[in-house]
Amino acid sequence: MTSPFVLGVDLDGVCADYTAAFRAAVARHREVDPSSLTDDVTWDFAEWGLDRTSFLEHHRRAVVEDHLFATMPPIDGVSDTLWRLSDAGVWIRIITHRLVSNWNHATAVADTVGWLDTNRVPYRDICFLGAKPQVGADLYVEDAPHNVEALRASAARVLVFDQPYNRSLGGLRARTWAEVEDVVVGSVVDSGRAYPSPLPLVGLAGAGDRLGGEPPAAGDALASSSPEEAREQS
């Protein structure tokens, strides 16, 4: 039995709309209307007049005062798509760089895992990373140009999640979670693993609530602690 296909999934700009939430936070801090801040931004938010120092201060206030990581809107389709992939056997590994600053890690971690539950994002493990890019995934979904480049430099396969600030990057790109799903399914098949057809939802008790209702209890579908353990169990 082969090991599961591991999908490394970034959070900000991929699962969660960081730009929208940060824009609202900066507007609150400045007491201006959010529409006065363009959403067509480069990576450093220079369009909003931010430099590295002022970015970090607004980011800190957004995380601590506004609980940005608990409240930011999910990107369309992320929950449904990741549930389908997880149900088909894809190992979802959340990879986030949210501990980049040396303050309030408790808030960042608690709000992050709370957000994942609230927005019904399935995952089997989660990595809070600093600079080290490579955590052993078969495919990464990532939006940050420097992370994409670092991963590709380590020979990792990376699918760029389209954002205004990463359009200079070439290679694999998805504009929506539907496009992510297509690439992942193709990659699973190309890797020589089987990709099961989805079960029809009609007629299955409770199936209609599968994506919108209560998430499965811990231990039901996501019981294994590592891809290797899953292989041993299967």
Residue 197 CB, shortest distance to Mg ion, in Å, is: 32
| Residue 40 annotated in active site | no
Binding to Mg ion, residues 106-125 (CB under 5 A)? none
Q: Which helix (H) or strand (E) holds 95?
A: strand 91-96
| Residue 44 annotated in active site | no
Q: How far is CA 120 from CA 103, 154, 213, in A?
A: 27, 31, 9
Give the DSSP letter string of 156-198: --EEEEP-GGGTT--S-EESSHHHHHHHHHHHHHHTT---PPP
From the candidates 10, 66, 111, 138, give the one annotated as an active-site residue: 10
Site for Mg ion contains 133 (CB under 5 A): no
Q: Which is nearer to Mg ion, 16 or 222 (CB)?
A: 16
Residue 127 burial class via C-beta count within 10 angstroms: exposed 0-12, middle 13-18, buried 19 and up: middle
User: Of residues 6, 7, 8, 13, which one binds Mg ion by CB under 5 A?
Assistant: 13
The total of other beta-carbon atoms located within 10 Å of residue 16's CB is 25
Residue 163 CB, shortest distance to Mg ion, in Å, is: 8
Structural contact between residues 174 and 159, judged by C-beta atoms closer than 8 angstroms: yes
Q: Which helix (H) or strand (E) holds 8?
A: strand 6-10
Piece in contact with Mg ion (CB under 5 A), picked from 35-43, 77-85, 136-144, 224-232: 136-144
What Rg, from alpha-carbon coordinates, does the chain have? 18
User: Of residues 5, 7, 9, 10, which one binds Mg ion by CB under 5 A?
Assistant: 10
Binding to Mg ion, residues 139-178 (CB under 5 A)? 143-144
Residue 15 CB, shortest distance to Mg ion, in Å, is: 9
Total residues contacting Mg ion by CB under 5 A comes to 5
Site for Mg ion contains 12 (CB under 5 A): yes
Q: Which residues bind Mg ion (CB under 5 A)?
A: 10, 12-13, 143-144
Active site residues: 10, 12
